[in-house]
Amino acid sequence: MTGSGSPSLRLKPGRHALFLDIDGTLLEHADHPDLVSVDAELLDLLAALDVRLDGALAFVSGRSIGAIDQLFAPLRLCAAGLYGLEHRLLQNGPVVEAREPADIAALATEMEAEFGSTTGVYFERKGPVLAIHTRAAPDALSAVQKAAELALPRLSEEYRVVVGEAGLELIPLQAMKSAAIRRFLELEPFSGRQPIFIGDDTSDESGFELVNRLEGISIRVRPKAETSARHILADVAAVKSWLRDEVLGNPGR
């Protein structure tokens, strides 16, 4: 494992751009993604960060933007959903959505027939991304992974299987958090700023690598393996504490 403790930082208008993963970073993982919730304290924190950064704040998540908006209503921040396959490049702006290809739909139906009756296994169909959650059924992960990898050659687009602590996802190769972050950095108000990216999973590593190349700040939450992130935070509570106390400087205290 690499990386040091949390960096000392104060966000400065015009200087920093902040990119945030959601599950495992801002919210604790749950057995099913619909079981998480956002409290008023987190909403207030995000609103304060957004004001401090003049809007240079974006979610970069595996969730769809529709799901992100439901969680964080009434906020409609800039967002990259489905690892960058969906995006809202302007606050309150239009969303470019990604639809479910026929071959992924067929595969999801097949795998649901095979594993859907296994207690604790949940399927999440997110357009071109198929997530299979096994947090509540860890013994099933090996069989689910084997079936997913065997199915890859049948898909018309190139896919990869990304295995995490909560299960796995079948994700198109072009869906990369690094590409999503780079897209934002080409636009106002993000352009010309030092990027900060906080994430917790394997899918966040490409974002850490990009941010490192750009001399930004990369932070991984609760890493259990090697990471490219240069800093580490212990858990979700530590992320929120760092953002509130170190980054904003105890607003309202």
Q: Tell me the pLDDT tens digit for each residue of 191-229.
A: 999 999 999 988 899 999 999 999 999 999 988 778 999
Q: Do 11 and 50 touch, CB atoms closer than 8 A? A: no
pTM across the whole model: 0.89
Q: Do 200 and 21 touch, CB atoms closer than 8 A? A: yes
User: Where does the chain hold its CATH 3.30.70 domain(s)?
Assistant: 102-172
User: Where does the chain hold its CATH 3.40.50.1000 domain(s)?
Assistant: 16-97+176-247
At the fourth CATH level, which superfamily is domain 16-97+176-247?
HAD superfamily/HAD-like (3.40.50.1000)
CATH class of the domain whose range is 102-172:
alpha beta
Query: Where are any strands of DSSP class E within 71-216?
Result: 78-81, 86-88, 122-126, 129-133, 159-164, 167-172, 194-199
Q: Which residues are catalytic?
A: 21
Q: Do 131 and 159 touch, CB atoms closer than 8 A? A: no
pLDDT tens per residue, range 5-38: 667 777 777 899 999 999 999 999 877 777 889 9
Phi, psi dihedrals of residue 160, rounded to the nearest 5°: -130, 155
Q: Do 199 and 221 touch, CB atoms closer than 8 A? A: yes
